[in-house]
Amino acid sequence: MPEGPEIRRAADQLANAVVGQVLTAAWFSFPHLGPRAAELVDQRVLAIEPHGKALLTHFERGLSLYSHNQLYGVWKVAKPGQRPQTNRSLRVALTTARREILLYSASEIELLPTAALSEHPFLAKLGPDVLDARLSEAEVQQRLRGSRFAGRSLAALLLDQGFLAGMGNYLRSEALFEACINPALRPRDLDDVQIEALAAALLAVPRRSYATRGVGRRRSSGLRAELQVDHGEAFGFRVFDRAGEPCLACGSVIERAEHTGRRLYWCSRCQA
């Protein structure tokens, strides 16, 4: 499943295509939404923003489209009348005079009053978005020390969207490595220096991934492992997906385990 940086990059691309423009047409595949498409015609797209792994498209007159891609959903941008060739099922089409944004294969789609978004069952459970520029290290430290989260293993906690929305599997391994903290520990096991290091890493790693255009396919060469993206930029993995390879910091072998059904990587020396 795409993680916070990838969702935010997608939101940026969609926003660049249609924000500020007026919809000339709208279409939904789901029967319960189909009749409501007419409500969006002639409305301006105000913003497209992520919250964790959900995407929110805001329209004037107080409506917002909630969508969650899950594993298979994908947004595409096209010129009106020039839709891409694909075997995916089209779920949403929002058309302006210049561009059309298309959502394929997603199953979680709702049209809601913008004022009621905070009451949505999924959004209401989310913690602060890890890529929200307003989120500070002090706030993350406070959440780590709070009774709700302090007793849980970090390996599990960092996948809980109620802790920090937008965190995910590769971000979990990379943030723990950057902070030199073992994934089996709990926040209550950490001293103040470790809490501060972890809070800093939990913000820095996702923001670095977003700033360097996220991730794409993996490419390994000796001690170098990276994910190459279409733009020629890369976000380097230091532990994730590098089981059996030497640690880039100390040379020890990177280890791997399955935790909460997901792959987890760490260096047993750096993260003793």
The answer to whether position 146 is within a domain reads: yes
- List beta partners, residue 92: 28, 103
Asked if 118 and 185 sit in the same domain, the reply is no
**CATH code, 149:** 1.10.8.50
190 and 153 Cβ atoms separated by less than 8 Å: no
pLDDT of residue 71: 75
Distances (CA, A) of 224 to 22, 217, 221, 234, 264: 47, 14, 5, 12, 19
Q: Which of 44, 186, 208, 262 is catalytic?
A: 262
Asked if 111 and 204 sit in the same domain, the reply is no
Tell me the pTM: 0.85
Domains contained in the chain, number: 2
Asked if 196 and 242 sit in the same domain, the reply is yes
| Catalytic residue flag (residue 187) | no
- Phi, psi of 252, rounded to the nearest 5 degrees: -65, 160
Asked if 258 and 223 sit in the same domain, the reply is yes
The answer to whether position 174 is within a domain reads: yes
Q: Which of 6, 49, 50, 53 is catalytic?
A: 53
The answer to whether position 179 is within a domain reads: yes
- Tens of pLDDT along the chain (272 residues)? 678 898 999 999 999 999 999 999 999 999 999 999 999 999 999 999 998 888 999 999 999 999 998 778 899 999 998 999 999 999 999 999 999 999 999 989 999 999 999 899 889 999 999 999 999 999 999 999 999 999 999 999 999 999 999 999 999 999 999 999 999 999 999 999 999 999 999 999 999 999 986 554 444 433 333 333 333 345 689 999 999 999 999 999 999 999 878 899 999 999 99
| Catalytic residue flag (residue 100) | no
Q: Which of 124, 145, 178 is the last residue of a domain?
A: 124
**CATH code, 86:** 3.20.190.10
Q: Which residues constitute the domain of residue 55?
A: 4-124
| Catalytic residue flag (residue 79) | no
Give dist(CA 54, CA 133) in Å, integer.
17
pLDDT of residue 220: 41
| Catalytic residue flag (residue 2) | yes
The answer to whether position 131 is within a domain reads: no
